[in-house]
Structure 1
Amino acid sequence: MSAISGLTNKGPAIDVLIPAIEKDLATLPHVIDSLRRYVRHPVSNIYIVSPNSSKIRSLCTRKGCIFVDETRVLPFTKKDIHYSSTRWNRSGWLYQQLLKMNGDHICRESFFLVIDADTVLIRPHRFRSGNNSIFYCRSWSQPEYFRTYRKLMGARPPSPRSFVTHYMLFEKAKLAGLKRKIEDRHGMSWHAAIIRSIDKKKQFGFSEYETYANYVYSGDSTSVILKNANNKSLKSSFASLGKAQTLRLARTYRSLSFHQRKGYSTPARH
């Protein structure tokens, strides 16, 4: 793997975990390519966690990734989650977040990067600097994320920024510590506690990124480096962008996301 812009792949080796479904197939190959080009760590394995799909299995074979059947990751499936109203259904969305939070039982390296299947990196990224974690942040989030965090952890989330930026490096030991703390406080499995703590009447009730990063930040804020995510959402497809347009976008942005989420622009808590 060649260095980009004089940056080398230093720091700890990492694995990558990408939850996906077939509707992600238009963007997912570009996500995988961007990881191999722009992640400034040695990447050991890329795991694609998905429903059993011959198309996604075929993509994994072509791209040298490891297919993981999502039904083997947690002791329940998406059908067991009931998080919906007459206007929306967030059961699959929540299920994907819980899959990510069990990535420590899938990945082999001590650190693993989770990235959403619709987000493509367009500039180099590093996620560790010495013993410090680098988190990419933005200035707004959903208030419910913080309410659920407080129910789970018994304290306000301490970070001044939002960590909901479509990708994050998890440290297995710290993720296991977070899940143990949730279980000890609530006297039940971590996933049951999360599901119980969400206000099911609200559409955006939990964030795995917000929860994990605030837990790490609360443990030692001096070990955390915050960087602006500079993520851009686009309604077009990545394949429709020419090389020149992508380079122009990379002058301003670090990553591009190709999703459409209505009502997803509540200002951050202050």
Structure 2
Amino acid sequence: MQLFINNPNYDIVICVGPQHIEIAKIVINQVKLFFQAQQIYVITNPSHFEKFQALNLNNLLLINENKLFDQFNFQSVADFLKRKIANGDRAGWYFQQFLKMEVSKIIQSDYYLIWDADTIPLKPINFFDQKDKVLIHKSEENHKPYFETLEHILSIKKTVNYSFISEHFMVQTKLMQKMLLELSTNAENQVWPYYILENIATKDMALSGFSEYETYGNFLKSTCPDAFRLRTSASELLNTTRNGSMILGTLPNTKDLNFLEILGLHYATFEIWQDLNPKKIKANRRRIALFFFFKKIPLIRSLNNLLVKNFRKTYSLPRPLY
């Protein structure tokens, strides 16, 4: 399947918290390299703007996370959680989800790609099929509180036997705007994020009581089921890993990324909360250095096949699909 031939226009949206500044800079450069986006929106605190301006990208737009809403910001979420459960630690986690939704009101393209700030693309990816349907990368997650909140706020039940949660989602701008209008109508005199927060069960609020991916995905299925389809063919399926940090630490270099691409991955997520083993990471980097050394010597280049096979087995990485 050819990439990017007459695809609909789209922008990219990346929400960046203070813990992801450095990895996000790598992500943005890789996004620029591999994806055909019109604009790259980075939503973050203005104290971080200078770090992203240094990237010198002409299609990079920096959005103040505390100015996107008229009457709502990070502190609003933190204050709400402190009143409800006396703990505001999850404020950033909820707030970034709301930002990814509210940004639809300023997006100019027909679509925008939500992309996680700790997920590095390694090669071009097509997000539409030849009929301009959005391609969905499904997962097997099934967290009950997400769907309880969904039913409370939109009167929609889970409509599929899979999860819409992955590290990205191609959103139809007008449909997200339609969903926000419905949420605002249901919220009456409230700003819609307060309405969502109030409909999360108190027992779930301290952990994970809402998912923007599951909410929008099930709204999409309920209102425009013909606008998307699951990735099915070998040329559409994506090979991914969420264990990038376990393999290479939380800040990979160019050679690391080249090796992950050689392993057949489309993208890798580098989560900061994973337990890291510095000795294993150092050993992996030595093996990668050997891999690129062997590539230069035809007589021992075949050893690389064993090295790659060992990496895949150790970290349960899928083989390339095509």
Correspondence for 1:222 among 214, 223, 226: 226
Which of 80, 83, 92 in structure 1 is aligned with 2:81? 83
Change (3 A) 1:52 1:186: closer
1:71 is paired with a residue of what secondary structure?
coil
Contact 1:60/1:66, CA 8 A, preserved across alignment: no
Residues 47 and 155 (structure 1), Cα distance of their counterparts in 2 relative to 1, 3 Å cut: closer
The structure whose residues are more often strand, as a share, is: 1
2:153 pairs with 1:152: yes
Secondary structure of the equivalent of 1:43? coil
Instruction: Answer whether contact 1:51 1:69 (CA < 8 A) is retained.
Output: yes
Separation in 2, partners of 1:148, 1:58: 36
**Higher relative CO (CA 8 A, sep ≥ 6), structure 1 or 2?**
1
How well do the aligned residues superpose, as a CA RMSD in angstroms? 2.4
Deviations 1:111-154 (A, max 9, x none): 11111111111232222232422222111132211111111121
Q: CA deviation at 1:9?
A: 5.2
Which residue number in structure 1 is paired with residue 269 of structure 2? 257
- Rounded Cα–Cα distance in structure 2 between residues aligned with 1:60 and 1:161: 39
Partners of 2:183 and 2:120 in 1: CA distance: 32
The residue that corresponds to 2:209 in the other structure is: 205
CA distance in 1, matches of 2:29, 2:109: 20
The answer to whether residue 249 in structure 2 is matched with residue 247 in structure 1 is: no
CA contact (8 A) 2:11 2:112 kept: yes
Give the match's secondary structure for 2:176.
helix
With the length of structure 1 as denominator, give the TM-score of the two structures: 0.84
Aligned to 2:198: 196
Pair 1:60 & 2:60 matched: no
Question: Which residues of 2 match residues 1-80 of structure 1 at below 5 A?
Answer: 7-8=3-4, 10-39=6-35, 42-53=36-47, 55-64=48-57, 65-74=60-69, 75-80=71-76
Distance 1:244 1:231, change over 3 A: closer
1:177–1:248 Cα change, 3 Å: same
Amino acid paired to 1:259: E
Residue 141, structure 1, aligned to residue 149, structure 2? no
Q: 2: distance between equivalents of 1:177 and 1:132? A: 19
Query: What residue is the counterpart of 1:165 in the other structure?
Result: 166
Kindly tell me: are residues 193 and 177 of structure 1, through their superposed partners in 2, closer, same or farther at Cα, counting changes over 3 Å?
same
Provide, for residues 143-194 of structure 1, a one-character-per-residue CA deviation record: whole Å limited to 9, x for no partner. 2111111111213121221111121111111011111222334434422221
Q: Distance in 2 between matches of 1:213 and 1:163?
A: 6
Cα deviation, 1:69-105, whole Å, max 9, x if unaligned, reads 1111012111111336578721111011111111112
Q: Larger Rg: 1 or 2?
A: 2
TM-superposed deviation, 1:19: 0.9
Tell me which residue corresponds to 1:266: none
Separation in 2 of the partners of 1:63 and 1:223? 35
Query: How many correspondences in the alignment?
Result: 253
Offset of 1:260 from its aligned partner? 4.3
Match of 1:268 in 2: none
Q: In structure 1, what is the Cα distance between the partners aligned to 2:87 and 2:272?
A: 16
Percent identical: 20
Per residue, is there more helix in 1 or in 2? 2
TM-score by length of 2: 0.71
What corresponds to 2:317 in structure 1? none
Deviation of 1:45 after TM superposition, in Å, equals: 1.1
- Is the CA contact (8 Å cut-off) linking 2:180 and 2:192 kept in structure 1? yes
Q: Which runs of 5+ in 2 are unaligned?
A: 232-236, 275-322
Where in structure 2 are the equivalents of 1:117-132 lying within 5 Å?
117-129=117-129, 130-132=131-133
**2:289 match:** none
